[in-house]
Structure 1
Amino acid sequence: MEAITNFSVRVVQRYLPSAYVLALILTAVVFVLGIVVTDQSPMDMASYWGGGFSKLFKFGMQMVLVLMTGYVLAMTPIMQKVFTGLTGLAGNWRQAIIITIVTSFICYYLNWGFGMVAGAILAREMGRRVKVHFPLIVAAAYGGELVRGPSSSIPLVIATPDHFMEEAIGIVPVTETLYAPWNIFLTIALLALLIIFFMFQKQPAQIDQLKISDEDIDTEVELDRSTMSPSDWIENSRIPTLFLGLLVAVYLMGQVIDKGFSINLNTVILIFLGLGLLLHKSPQAYQVAAAKAIGAARGIIIQFPLYAGIAGMMTQSDLVGQFSEAIISVATPTSFPLLTFLSAGLVNFFIPSGGGQWAIQGPIMMQAAHALGADPAQTIMAFTWGDGWTNQIQPFWALPLLGVAGLSARDIMGYLLIWLLISGAAICGTFVVLAAMAG
């Protein structure tokens, strides 16, 4: 396994283009496929691309804010003490790997947006405080991203009354999907496999360790208060940030009282924002931290619109529909969940948005599941796992983590490619066993 992983790392570092160039290549591939497979004209494909280009503007801004506010929170003095405590638990690089994996996996399970930032920042702190190969621990932090927890949109939608497919499949409760015994077992098994895989990697002879000193993350500005102007005093006073931070806290408490506790991207942003404001000592300190954080979001800003354009071409040209129908044509009731998993994983590489992919591909797959007599709950979870599975080698979802870490996709994808194969085998094996038990 070590030799295979080392080979994968070398190949990926040599041949994988940057995440931005990969997005350009995918754009060209889908453009050509639309013309060749679905008989669309070049003008049609260009129109579909342009129509989709702006579809992720809102989501892209949400991701920028998740990254920026989480990064700024991590730079507060109290959070640095927390990270120091966590990294102090790691007596060697393998312990650092285990702590990072377990922490990020739990955070991903609770909410993928929270896990993305928390895992990246913890890996960053481990990388600068523990003698560990930095790309290795960043890859370990990202490996848990495939987990499907209570924030997974597809099972939650299907469990909600009046969802858009209720007439066709009814309401499928989360006790049959997310919290089915087999799915809980699979989740725990994947965590164990992730730990085993990364624990037994061998660090390179030349360890690439993150070089960041405490001074590099210092946000405090020393001023002579005797010469401060009124504007300087306001910018370096705790009062403005304390007020806004408390305002955020009051709003969130009101939402919990009125609607109960639930986490979505907007909630994550507000939590990070409020805590960052309360824990930084002044507006000036917050702005200094934000200035250091915002550069990490450049990949999101320039690449998310490209993937939105790719999704526009995939859907409007009916490439997704034709691919799904080709899968259905060879499926049987026992093989259908497995094929659903594999097809969702492949389409996810071109449409890296679970909700968007489900809206397009889901009705086709669920109609086929009904016609074949396949288990709807297993089909839903097969689709959900497939949607998360290929995120391991899809730079779209790794961009926030890579931004925090300051790495490129090729630095971590060699490890994640092998983890993709291991996790894929475990998930496929689960659906094969379920099919055998049903038969």
Structure 2
Amino acid sequence: MTSTMEAAESEQGLARVAQSLARWTEKWFPDAYVVALAGVFVVALAAFANGSSPKAVATAFGDGFWDLTTFTLQMAMVVLTGYVVATSPPVARLIDRLALVPNNPASAAGYVAFLSMAVSFLNWGLSLVFGGLLVRAIARRTDLRVDYRALGAAAFMGLGGVWALGLSSSAAQLQANAGSLPPALLKITGLLDFGTTIFTWQSLLMCAILMALTMVIAQWSAPKGEAIKTAEQLEVDLDDQPEEATPRTRPGEWLEYSRVLPILAGLMTMAWLIFQFLAKPALTVVSSLNGYLLVFLVLGLVLHGTPRKFLQAVTLAVPPTAGILVQFPLYAAMAAILTKAKGRGGITVSQHLADFFTSIGGGGAFAVVIALYTVVLGIFVPSGGGKWLVEAPYVMQSATDVHMNLGWTVQIYNVAEALPTLINPFFMLPLLAVLKLRARDLVGFTFLQFIFHLPVVLLLVWLLGMTFDYVPPILPASP
């Protein structure tokens, strides 16, 4: 009895420390949009210090502001399609069945972490919603008393652990699609398909190691006994019953309630996908972001059954995309100032940064420094990958100069990009909306994951990077 009480007090003490950090962050850390907006002016000041004229900086800002319009819409659609698929009736029924698997609070946390990471490899937006609904389904069980906070943090591990190593990686998707890649970056890197980034054995091994580590930490850190805080104790309503569909009142509404059009759209998309695989290499088809989004969007339509239900789900999915829509243009402007506003001697800020990273040399030191730089910048600029456009021009130029494998350099960025999400609560927002919790309820557990992940990630990018050979960039043919 005494040992149980001491364990509970220890867990509560650790949670108190972590939640104190979360409360400090909530109190002092501004909104992510404000951070991005401030970043534009920090970059502008750096350009001025480099000798750029006000005209050069202002021109780069205005001309570059909409450079990422296509990519911005694509990333917003990643979130929207993930939400729509996760809330469809078939997936909801699957979630209810999956919720019956764990048999104790600790295994439930590890189980949720595993499933959220597995789903995140396919779509990080889907992972957030799927994980949140799975946590709610487990919490509704009357035969299992679980800590709602620990399970909520475990549901975030898809994004906090491995999302950027999967198919919806913004940087990998960007590098594989010439139409989404800014011309200046395309000249440096060429196209890098998934076979050179997320599907290398080194990247897959790193993903597997991080998944195993995350599951162990989630299970080990889950509160037990009296330390558990249930959804009921946190005053969370767990009722997920869908709203009743409004009855048809006009003949013109018949198609809105019919499955005919969704089925036809599904068949059309399936035919398109088959022809794509017949005509192109498999990796080219898989790495097409537009095709990926088409499949997920139509899949959501088919799974919801009728256009009316599908549109209701889309309406709920739009708010979580707001941050992406208003922040990515700021990242585009930052990238333009860094790469286009020339200073003394016609040198841009990005060229100076490239010279600095080049001076480090190749090998493990380069990989570790790039990873650390990405982590630090990501804490202050939570972008979900849009930040790649800010870093890529000088990071990839440096990688080319020191003959570092470009595909692995993208993966160094990707694995390091996930780490700041464990501290900065910006990307928790869609999950928090599903769980009906506050960031401070989860950050204590995610911060613990960060402490373990950081040294492991640095070790992996160093060791695995030694197994790569340098491959010169393959530039697309001029039109």
TM-score bracket relative to the smaller structure:
0.7 to 0.9
Q: Give the letter aligned to residue 306 of structure 2.
A: S
Instruction: Describe the shift of the 1:27–1:422 C-alpha distance in structure 2 as closer, same or farther (beyond 3 A).
Output: farther
Matches within 5 A, 1:294-333: 294-317=318-341, 318-331=348-361
Q: Give the letter aligned to residue 121 of structure 1.
A: F
Q: Say whether residues 1:241 and 2:250 are aligned partners.
A: no
- Worse overlay, 427-436 or 266-275: 427-436
Q: Say whether residues 1:122 and 2:146 are aligned partners.
A: no
Q: Say whether residues 1:342 and 2:354 are aligned partners.
A: no
- Worse overlay, 39-48 or 401-410: 401-410
1:141 corresponding residue in structure 2: 158
Q: Say whether residues 1:293 and 2:317 are aligned partners.
A: yes
Instruction: Specify which of 213, 218, 221 is matched with residue 239 of structure 2.
Output: 213
Instruction: Describe the shift of the 1:58–1:397 C-alpha distance in structure 2 as closer, same or farther (beyond 3 A).
Output: farther
2:207 corresponding residue in structure 1: 187
Q: Give the letter aligned to residue 47 of structure 2.
A: G
Give unmatched runs, 5+ long, in structure 1.
none
Q: Give the letter aligned to residue 23 of structure 1.
A: A
User: How far 1:360 moved relative to its partner?
Assistant: 0.9
Q: Say whether residues 1:427 and 2:436 are aligned partners.
A: no
Query: For residues 73 and 165 of structure 1, what CA distance do their matches in structure 2 show?
Result: 33
Contact 1:169 1:366 in 2 (8 A): no
Query: For residues 467 and 83 of structure 2, what CA distance do their matches in structure 1 show?
Result: 46
Q: Deviations over 1:276-303 (max 9, x none)?
A: 2222232222222222222232222222
Q: Give the letter aligned to residue 305 of structure 1.
A: P
User: How far 1:82 moved relative to its partner?
Assistant: 0.6
Give unmatched runs, 5+ long, in structure 2.
1-10, 140-145, 179-183, 342-347, 469-479
Q: Give the letter aligned to residue 279 of structure 1.
A: L
1:197 corresponding residue in structure 2: 217
Query: For residues 165 and 66 of structure 1, what CA distance do their matches in structure 2 show?
Result: 23
Contact 2:82 2:126 in 1 (8 A): yes
Q: Give the letter aligned to residue 135 of structure 2.
A: M
Contact 2:26 2:440 in 1 (8 A): yes
2:298 corresponding residue in structure 1: 274
| TM-score normalised according to structure 1 size | 0.78
Q: Deviations over 1:58-80 (max 9, x none)?
A: 12212222322332222222111
Instruction: Specify which of 19, 26, 39 is matched with residue 13 of structure 1.
Output: 26
Q: Deviations over 1:333-361 (max 9, x none)?
A: 55233223334545666584476357512
Q: Give the letter aligned to residue 213 of structure 2.
A: L
Q: Deviations over 1:392-426 (max 9, x none)?
A: 55677666656766777676555545534432211
User: How far 1:262 moved relative to its partner?
Assistant: 1.6
Query: For residues 171 and 251 of structure 1, what CA distance do their matches in structure 2 show?
Result: 24
Q: Give the letter aligned to residue 255 of structure 2.
A: I
1:100 corresponding residue in structure 2: 112
Structure 2 residue matching 1:290: 3-state secondary structure: helix
- Worse overlay, 390-399 or 286-295: 390-399
Instruction: Describe the shift of the 1:254–1:392 C-alpha distance in structure 2 as closer, same or farther (beyond 3 A).
Output: farther
Contact 2:265 2:298 in 1 (8 A): yes
Matches within 5 A, 1:18-417: 18-36=31-49, 38-109=50-121, 111=122, 114-127=123-136, 129-130=138-139, 131=146, 132-133=148-149, 135-145=152-162, 148-149=165-166, 183-202=203-222, 208=234, 210-215=236-241, 217-218=242-243, 220-223=244-247, 228-259=249-280, 260=282, 262-317=286-341, 318-331=348-361, 335-346=365-376, 352-353=385-386, 356=389, 360-370=393-403, 381-390=411-420, 392-393=422-423, 412=442, 415-417=445-447
Contact 1:101 1:140 in 2 (8 A): yes
User: How far 1:166 moved relative to its partner?
Assistant: 12
Q: Deviations over 1:31-67 (max 9, x none)?
A: 333323x222444333322222212221221222232
Instruction: Describe the shift of the 1:390–1:55 C-alpha distance in structure 2 as closer, same or farther (beyond 3 A).
Output: farther
Instruction: Describe the shift of the 1:39–1:196 C-alpha distance in structure 2 as closer, same or farther (beyond 3 A).
Output: farther
Instruction: Describe the shift of the 1:381–1:123 C-alpha distance in structure 2 as closer, same or farther (beyond 3 A).
Output: same
Aligned residues between the structures = 423
Query: For residues 431 and 142 of structure 1, what CA distance do their matches in structure 2 show?
Result: 19
Percent identity of the aligned residues? 23
Instruction: Describe the shift of the 1:294–1:147 C-alpha distance in structure 2 as closer, same or farther (beyond 3 A).
Output: closer
Query: For residues 303 and 250 of structure 2, what CA distance do their matches in structure 1 show?
Result: 24
Query: For residues 303 and 282 of structure 1, what CA distance do their matches in structure 2 show?
Result: 33
- Worse overlay, 423-432 or 197-206: 197-206
Query: For residues 150 and 76 of structure 1, what CA distance do their matches in structure 2 show?
Result: 21
Q: Deviations over 1:228-258 (max 9, x none)?
A: 4321323222222222232222222222232
- Worse overlay, 66-75 or 409-418: 409-418
- Worse overlay, 52-61 or 416-425: 416-425
Query: For residues 399 and 186 of structure 1, what CA distance do their matches in structure 2 show?
Result: 27
- Worse overlay, 308-317 or 384-393: 384-393
Q: Give the letter aligned to residue 430 of structure 1.
A: L
Q: Give the letter aligned to residue 368 of structure 1.
A: D
Q: Give the letter aligned to residue 298 of structure 2.
A: G
Q: Give the letter aligned to residue 235 of structure 1.
A: E
Q: Give the letter aligned to residue 423 of structure 1.
A: H
Q: Give the letter aligned to residue 331 of structure 2.
A: Y
Instruction: Describe the shift of the 1:435–1:33 C-alpha distance in structure 2 as closer, same or farther (beyond 3 A).
Output: same
